[in-house]
């Protein structure tokens, strides 16, 4: 893979509106497809915004009518905002395109970043992104006085955690000692070039996630580096560490397309 170029679009008071950043992604994507620029990763913060991938259900959107931007990436609904480091790697992949391998590389860079700050994270089977594991189910505290065997989030199709207060709020998953997502990933590949990317929770107000069903997952929650480490942390501290690991993983991977199996004659 070619040398990775970083572009800082804006942080803090200069955070970038989602639609503006999406338009910039399209421009960079076209230039990368035409080989006018090298592989490029846009890094930024957004003002508060909900974005919904193609698989988002109506029952996962905000109940209060808060606007949601529908986008062309994979995945479901999530939130972006202050304290969250967002990256849009726009890379030309080898053919045949291996989308899963690209997602795994992004996860690896984020896992290495968390490790450098002293936080152990992992992947979860069937759930993209980077996770902090909770306690074994049998050792978790009961919710609302109910045994976990009767957790309504899992047993009642009509149960809505958005209506049932802090006990079920995604931002309180750490108190419940459940699995919680530190970084979300949602991508699109068009003409062999990637778009969209990842969002790493550094020190955001995670209660924004309580208005939705984040990523469509009802039995887990969200967290941040600051929450897990028990100290304040800034985007400025995390940015160079993340850039280093993205460069190591994306430039050093030398990704190869999967072998095509041919039937013997």
**Which pair of structure tokens corresponds to residue 67?**
């606007």
Task: Report the distance separating Cα 192 and Cα 33, nearest Å.
Answer: 8
Task: Report the distance separating Cα 196 and Cα 87, nearest Å.
Answer: 8
Q: What letter does residue 259 receive in the DSSP assignment? A: P
Residue 139: exposure state from Cβ atoms within 10 A (0-12, 13-18, ≥19): exposed
Task: Report the distance separating Cα 175 and Cα 134, nearest Å.
Answer: 10
Task: Report the distance separating Cα 173 and Cα 166, nearest Å.
Answer: 10
Active-site residue among 215, 235, 239, 246?
A: 215
41 is catalytic: no
Count of residues making up the chain: 265
Query: Cβ–Cβ contacts within 10 Å for residue 208, how many?
Result: 24
Task: Report the distance separating Cα 226 and Cα 24, nearest Å.
Answer: 30
Task: Report the distance separating Cα 63 and Cα 222, nearest Å.
Answer: 19
Chain center to CA of 74? 11
Strands 193-201 and 180-190: antiparallel
Of 144, 176, 160, which is closest to residue 211 (Cα–Cα)?
A: 160
Catalytic annotation, residues:
215
């Amino acid at each position: 893979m070619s040398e990775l170029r970083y572009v800082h679009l804006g942080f803090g008071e200069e955070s970038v509106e989602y639609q503006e950043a999406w338009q910039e992604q399209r421009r960079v994507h076209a230039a990368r497809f035409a080989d006018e620029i090298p592989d490029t990763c846009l890094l930024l913060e957004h003002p508060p915004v909900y974005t919904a991938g193609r698989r988002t259900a109506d029952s996962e959107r905000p109940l209060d009518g808060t606007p949601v931007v529908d986008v062309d990436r994979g995945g479901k609904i999530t939130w972006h905002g202050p304290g969250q480091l967002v990256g849009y790697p726009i890379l030309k992949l080898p053919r045949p395109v291996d989308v899963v391998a690209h997602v795994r590389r992004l996860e690896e860079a984020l896992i290495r970043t968390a490790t450098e700050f002293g936080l152990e994270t992992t992947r979860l089977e069937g759930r993209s992104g980077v996770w902090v594991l909770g306690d074994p189910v049998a050792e978790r505290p009961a919710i609302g006085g109910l045994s976990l065997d009767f957790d309504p989030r899992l047993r009642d199709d009509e149960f809505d955690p958005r209506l049932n207060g802090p006990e079920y709020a995604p931002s309180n998953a750490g108190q419940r000692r459940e699995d919680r997502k530190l970084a979300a990933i949602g991508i699109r590949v068009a003409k062999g070039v990637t778009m969209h990317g990842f969002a790493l929770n550094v020190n955001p107000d995670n209660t924004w996630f309580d208005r939705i069903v984040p990523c469509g997952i009802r039995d887990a929650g969200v967290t941040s580096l600051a929450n897990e480490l028990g100290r304040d942390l800034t985007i400025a501290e995390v940015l160079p560490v993340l850039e280093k690991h993205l460069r190591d993983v994306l430039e050093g991977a030398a990704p190869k397309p999967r072998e095509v199996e041919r039937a013997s004659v």
